[in-house]
């Protein structure tokens, strides 16, 4: 039977009925609803000649053995955020399953093809995302921290994952899964507005942005709003306001899709009758190029010190988190471009702002590429998340073409 | 006996020992400590030939009858905020008491002279300031609202004031106190940095600022900090940041000591990974001239709409509170200037940002003036509030000269 993209759309709706409610998808990792979704996935694939395995980190692997052990991986995640969308993660898996079915029905492939359903991509319950893929990539270095995590009901992460057969002491054994990997492919909704604004259904992802996430604390002097002349003030909010505006210029000057965000400012004392004494500002900067990202951060810091001098206030920077940019594989980017152009007429290359399991796999040294399908209004992590059905079908067809090209590419290597 | 300014400083220290602790002054209105302070004040004046009366609003009046019923009033307040300073309110009363003693010891004055200790200037316990003076001025129009106020221990305002013999149904009877008033004088610490920065001990207050206090709500669109290109964003914080900076230009251009303050911005969702959807900004604008204040407000609103257009966001203005400027009496301002110049060499005219009981008396049509004495570092409402002792003594002498000039002025009218 040839590929049936419409079947994937039907399966996504079936999954929504099975594991969602009026508020959206409820497939939170390490819950019964998630287990239901994974059992349902297994049942969809039960008629195919696959080896099925749950690894030490809780990732589910569906392996179609080929003439070579070298493997093309196709990945996604069945878990969702609470009140999530019907596509994020599940589209990836079900499109991959459809491709696996098409290949299996054509006979033994020249290389091995594996579908992976990563465990706990979202980190919705314990605040730690990419759990399964970071174990497989070996980048997970914080098991002690994971041991201390508890959910809002007081259940610990070790207990929750233990109920699914996962032992934190052994999760890094999942690294063995990538030993034979020759390529990793992942389809995902864009979760942003770029493709929609370009009126394109599909795009090739160049890599995931590096991220610099900081807390910037401005300290001035509280003073009476009525009796303190303007020239005498040391207003912490003025520093935060200047930086909130300046980061837009920093992003524009950096180019390459750079983004800078000030997600909030907390003012103290924060009352109408006082000049602001301290303003605690959140800053997030992202770029695909590590050097450019470092320069963006340096520029923001340089400007902040100039603003502090102008306002006679102090500024202090505290890093919350950072990650280097992760670039996808040039050869696979080329194949993905071809596959999209063949299916949709034209392609587009763009970076990914959000992180994905694909970034973890790429960090482990496996040649990787992702494909984005348009998201309506850029919405995700909400029941309002949506993509046109014709675009979903195109994405299934394009992923299948990419998989075919990648199998041939790996077989010829 | 001639005036003894140093005695006032000694009395202020005695009061501090009697009613303060390591955290500062504790003379919160409608408490036992406040009652102690007021009884102590009465004992200081017990040897003088005064009529003593508590009016229907709890204000204490000490009246030295003169040849005429027409009265020169000198006012202050014995109450403080919790953990307050040793001068705010008490200096006014004790300097007035010293002047009353000097006049009484000279014999019957040509006009009546009255010292008033206003009840609950600070509003520290129930959040309603100027209680006693607004009853006397007749501006109090919110007894129903007062009836619903409770302190942090759940005690209602009617119960608390009832324990001091005050019946909310009768507080406006206090208006009778101002029927014979021909002038009202008040000394106060500046609670701001102007006189200190000019290296002047004393200044004449021209009036109290009008105030426009608003909540400005900016509404944009939450969006993922990683996946939303800069050009697609509708960032509510950008509007708040632009206004926080623009109000400084508005104040500078308005001149006349204009002040504009953005005391805080609350951002939602307020997380590092999202563009700000709503920013709720507090704005306070003050000026001594009503037309200028109205123009400052109009300019801020006009700019906010321009900023909203630039950022493709919405802006809405909601008034929290406002009050018109209150101008003091030209003739008394002239006498005050003379008194200060005679005592300190040079005077300075300045507006008052904070409100005072004097503003209430002026609103009732009584010719009024205030005198400010320098505050170190502009601090008040804290135990760190302080004024040099030589400046305190100068202020007592200057108030006494002002009282003498005012008595002569009223007698001659």
Q: Is A348 on the interface with B (CB under 8 A)?
A: no
Nearest to A117 by CA among A87, A78, A85: A78
Q: Is A318 on the interface with B (CB under 8 A)?
A: no
Whole-angstrom distance, CA of residue A250 vs CA of residue B200: 46
Range name among A117-126, B120-129, B259-268, B382-391 with the lowest pLDDT average: B120-129
Q: Is the peptide bond before B269 cis (omega within 30 degrees of 0)?
A: yes
Residue B142 pLDDT class (50, 70, 90 cuts): confident
DSSP B84: B
Q: What is the pLDDT of residue A143?
A: 82
Whole-angstrom distance, CA of residue A234 vs CA of residue B197: 15
Whole-angstrom distance, CA of residue B350 vs CA of residue B190: 10
CATH top-level class for A5-207+325-412?
Answer: alpha beta
Asked if A229 and B259 come within 8 Å (Cβ–Cβ), the reply is yes
Whole-angstrom distance, CA of residue A317 vs CA of residue A157: 31
Q: What is the pLDDT of residue A272?
A: 87
Q: Is B359 on the interface with A (CB under 8 A)?
A: no
Q: Which fold has domain B210-323?
A: Alpha-Beta Plaits (3.30.70)
Residue A60 pLDDT class (50, 70, 90 cuts): very high
Asked if B380 and A224 come within 8 Å (Cβ–Cβ), the reply is yes
Whole-angstrom distance, CA of residue B356 vs CA of residue B321: 17
A180-190 exposure pattern, b = at least 16 Cβ within 10 A, e = fewer = bbbbbbbbbbb
Whole-number percent of chain A with pLDDT over 90: 89
Q: What is the pLDDT of residue A127?
A: 84
What lies within 8 Å, CB to CB, of B193 at 6+ separation is A227, A228, A229, A232, B375, B377, B378
Polymer length of chain A: 413
CA atoms within 13 A on the CB side of B97: 28
Instruction: Tell me the average pLDDT of chain A.
Output: 95
Residue A303 pLDDT class (50, 70, 90 cuts): very high
Asked if A271 and B261 come within 8 Å (Cβ–Cβ), the reply is no
Q: What is the pLDDT of residue A293?
A: 98
Helix B5-19 to helix B90-105 angle (10° resolution) is: 140
- Cβ atoms within 10 A of the Cβ of A165, count? 9
Rounded to 5°, angle at Cα A340 from A258 and A335: 85
A115 token code pair:
């579908």
pTM over 0.90: no
Q: Rounded to an integer, what is the distance from CA B409 to the centroid of its chain?
A: 26
Of A232, A271, A355, the CB nearest to B264: A271
Nearest CA in chain B to A266: B266
Range name among A328-342, A352-366, B331-345 with the lowest pLDDT average: A352-366
Cβ under 8 Å to A: B residues 114-153: none
Q: Rounded to an integer, what is the distance from CA A131 to the centroid of its chain?
A: 12
Cβ under 8 Å to A: B residues 152-171: none
B322 pLDDT above the threshold of 90: no
Q: Rounded to an integer, what is the distance from CA A154 to the centroid of its chain?
A: 27
Nearest CA in chain B to A288: B226
Q: Is B229 on the interface with A (CB under 8 A)?
A: yes
A332 pLDDT above the threshold of 80: yes
Q: What is the pLDDT of residue A224?
A: 86
Range name among B28-32, B103-107, B270-274 with the lowest pLDDT average: B270-274
Beta pairing class for A368-373 and A181-189: parallel
Residue B258 pLDDT class (50, 70, 90 cuts): very high
Q: Rounded to an integer, what is the distance from CA B342 to the centroid of its chain?
A: 26
B1 pLDDT above the threshold of 80: no
Give contacts of B211 with chain A, Cβ < 8 Å: 226
Q: Is B384 on the interface with A (CB under 8 A)?
A: no
Residue A378 pLDDT class (50, 70, 90 cuts): confident
Q: Which long-range contacts (CB under 8 A, 24 or more apart) does B6-11 make?
A: B6/B393, B7/B98, B8/B91, B8/B94, B8/B95, B8/B97, B8/B98, B8/B392, B8/B393, B8/B396, B9/B389, B9/B392, B9/B393, B11/B44, B11/B94
Max Cα-Cα span within chain A: 84
A385 pLDDT above the threshold of 80: yes
What is the sign, positive or negative, of the torsion defined by CA atoms of B236, B237, B241, B243? Answer: positive
CA atoms within 13 A on the CB side of B178: 28
Helix (H, G, I), strand (E, B) or coil at B216: strand
pLDDT in tens, B28-43: 999 999 999 999 999 9
Nearest to B59 by CA among B156, B203, B177, B146: B177
Nearest to B192 by CA among A138, A273, A288: A273
Whole-angstrom distance, CA of residue A12 vs CA of residue B282: 47
Q: What is the pLDDT of residue A47?
A: 97
What mean pLDDT do residues A358-367 have?
Answer: 96
The residue of B192, B216, B226, B310 whose CB has the most chain A CBs within 10 angstroms, and thus the best one to mutate to test that interface, is: B226
What mean pLDDT do residues B96-106 have?
Answer: 98
Domain ranges of chain A: 5-207+325-412, 210-323
What mean pLDDT do residues B288-314 have?
Answer: 98
Q: Which helix (H) or strand (E) holds A50?
A: none
A117 phi, psi to nearest 5 deg? -105, 100
Give contacts of A189 with chain B, Cβ < 8 Å: none
Asked if A260 and B211 come within 8 Å (Cβ–Cβ), the reply is no
Of B194, B226, B272, the CB nearest to A282: B272
Asked if A213 and B237 come within 8 Å (Cβ–Cβ), the reply is no
Whole-angstrom distance, CA of residue B3 vs CA of residue B10: 14
Q: What is the pLDDT of residue A370?
A: 98
Asked if A224 and B354 come within 8 Å (Cβ–Cβ), the reply is yes
Where do runs of H (alpha helix) occur along B312-388? Answer: 330-344, 357-363
pLDDT in tens, A17-46: 999 999 999 999 999 999 999 999 999 999
Nearest CA in chain B to A210: B226
pLDDT in tens, A125-159: 988 889 999 999 999 877 888 999 999 899 999 99
pLDDT in tens, A185-232: 999 999 999 999 999 999 999 999 999 999 999 999 988 898 899 999
CATH fold match for the domains B5-207+325-412 and B210-323: no
B58 pLDDT above the threshold of 80: yes
Asked if A224 and B267 come within 8 Å (Cβ–Cβ), the reply is no
Asked if B265 and A230 come within 8 Å (Cβ–Cβ), the reply is no
Whole-angstrom distance, CA of residue B25 vs CA of residue B8: 17
Residue with tokens 């502090």: A308
In the sheet with A314-323, reading across from the earlier edge strand, the strands are A259-268, A278-287, A210-219, A314-323
A387 pLDDT above the threshold of 80: yes
Q: Is B313 on the interface with A (CB under 8 A)?
A: no
Polymer length of chain B: 413
Q: What is the pLDDT of residue A227?
A: 87
């Amino acid at each position: 039977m040839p590929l049936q993209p419409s079947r994937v759309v039907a399966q996504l709706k079936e999954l929504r009925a099975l594991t969602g409610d009026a508020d959206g998808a409820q497939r939170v990792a390490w819950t019964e609803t998630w287990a239901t979704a994974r059992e349902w996935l297994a049942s969809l694939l039960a008629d195919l000649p696959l080896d099925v395995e749950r690894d030490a980190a809780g990732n589910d692997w569906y392996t179609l053995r080929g003439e070579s052990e070298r493997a093309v991986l196709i990945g996604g995640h069945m878990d969702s955020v609470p009140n999530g969308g019907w596509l994020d993660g599940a589209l990836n898996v079900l499109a991959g399953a459809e491709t696996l079915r098409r290949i299996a029905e054509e006979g033994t492939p020249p290389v091995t093809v594996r579908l992976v359903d990563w465990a706990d991509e979202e980190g919705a319950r314990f605040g730690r995302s990419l759990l399964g893929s970071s174990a497989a990539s070996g980048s997970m270095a914080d098991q002690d921290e994971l041991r201390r995590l508890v959910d809002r009901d007081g259940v610990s992460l070790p207990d929750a994952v233990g109920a699914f057969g996962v032992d934190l002491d052994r999760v890094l054994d999942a690294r063995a899964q990538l030993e034979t990997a020759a390529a990793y492919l992942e389809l995902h909704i864009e979760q942003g507005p770029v493709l929609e604004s370009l009126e394109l259904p599909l795009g090739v992802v160049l890599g995931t942005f590096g991220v610099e996430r900081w807390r910037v604390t401005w300290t001035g002097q509280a003073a009476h709003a009525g009796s303190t002349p303007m020239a005498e003030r040391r207003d912490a909010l003025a520093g935060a306001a200047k930086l909130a505006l300046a980061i837009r210029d920093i992003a524009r000057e950096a180019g390459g899709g750079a983004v800078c965000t000030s997600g909030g400012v907390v003012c103290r004392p924060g009352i109408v009758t006082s000049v602001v004494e301290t303003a605690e500002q959140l800053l997030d900067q992202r770029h695909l190029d590590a050097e450019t990202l470092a320069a963006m951060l340096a520029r923001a810091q340089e400007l902040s010190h100039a603003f502090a001098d102008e306002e006679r206030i102090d500024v202090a920077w505290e890093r919350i988190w950072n990650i280097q940019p992760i670039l996808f594989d040039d050869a696979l980017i080329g194949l993905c471009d071809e596959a999209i152009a063949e299916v949709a007429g034209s392609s587009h290359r763009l970076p990914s702002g959000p992180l994905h399991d694909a970034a973890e796999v790429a960090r482990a040294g496996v040649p990787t590429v992702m494909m984005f399908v348009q998201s309506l209004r850029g919405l995700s992590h909400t029941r309002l998340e949506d993509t046109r059905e014709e675009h979903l079908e195109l994405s299934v067809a394009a992923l299948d073409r990419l998989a075919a090209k990648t199998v041939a590419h790996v077989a010829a290597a």
